[in-house]
Amino acid sequence: MRLGLVIDLDTCVGCHACAVACKQWNTSGTTGPLTDYRPYGEDPSGVWFNRIRHYEVGDYPNSKTINFPMSCMHCEDADCVTVCPTGASYKRKEDGVVLVDQTKCMGCNYCSWACPYGARELDRESGTMKKCTLCIDRIYDESLAEIDRQPACVITCPAHARFFGDFDDADSEVSRLVRERDGMQLMPELGYNPTNRYLPPRINTPIPTDDVRRPSLAGKVKQWVNKAVAR
């Protein structure tokens, strides 16, 4: 079994609900509290397993904002595991999930430097590294209804842009989506073979702008005067 996530970049709206749900669920999960630094100060920060990047692609008027959620990719060939001097970082054989044993981690940062995806964070209060666990305590909790045995980020996503499943099962939803939508690995050239995949944005038909009326010289002067008066 090889568990992981599929994220649809065409559907993700960058609302950060996945990041907040992840923080809420995992702050009392297997890795312990996810510390907040200066939560009510001018520059609040903290430990997060999910972070969402935003990029602008294309040229106006056919530009588009791409929201790019980032978390642990649960790589097949995870260098974060290889470089760990204490054996705290490990990859489970039974499902491919990469975890950190908090009792062995000494916070040396080697795994963070080895990870090209920025998926690991040093908790400065506990002095240990923390990362996405795929909600390991949730997906195997048989006291939950089967539909709820998914990572918190997947259940919470209001746009249904996230999917969870077994990539070794050719009939699973994640395998089907990757097959039908050309799901991509992030930076495959590095050879880490990340499990998580991204579905690329669909190609939209450019909006024609040739018939858009250009402002006349008088109109431009009028706009300039209005701006000057407003100031």
Three-state secondary structure of the chain: CCEEEEEECCCCCCCCHHHHHHHHHHCCCCCCCCCEECCCCCCCEECCCCEEEEEEECCCCCCEEEEEEECCCCCCCCHHHHCCCCCCEEECCCCCCEEECCCCCCCCCHHHHHCCCCCCEEECCCCEEECCCCCHHHHCCCCCCHHHCCCHHHHHCCCCCEEEEECCCCCCHHHHHHHHHCCECCCHHHCCCCCCEEECCCCCCCCCCCCCCCCCHHHHHHHHHHHHHHC
- pLDDT bin (cut points 50, 70, 90) of residue 206 is confident
pLDDT per position as a tens digit, 57-82: 888 878 889 999 999 999 999 999 99
| pLDDT tens digits for range 74-124 | 999 999 999 999 999 999 999 999 999 999 999 999 999 999 999 999 999
The ranges assigned to domains in the chain are 3-230
Give the fold, CATH level 3, of 3-230. Answer: Alpha-Beta Plaits (3.30.70)
pTM, two decimals, is 0.86
Average pLDDT over residues 162-172: 97
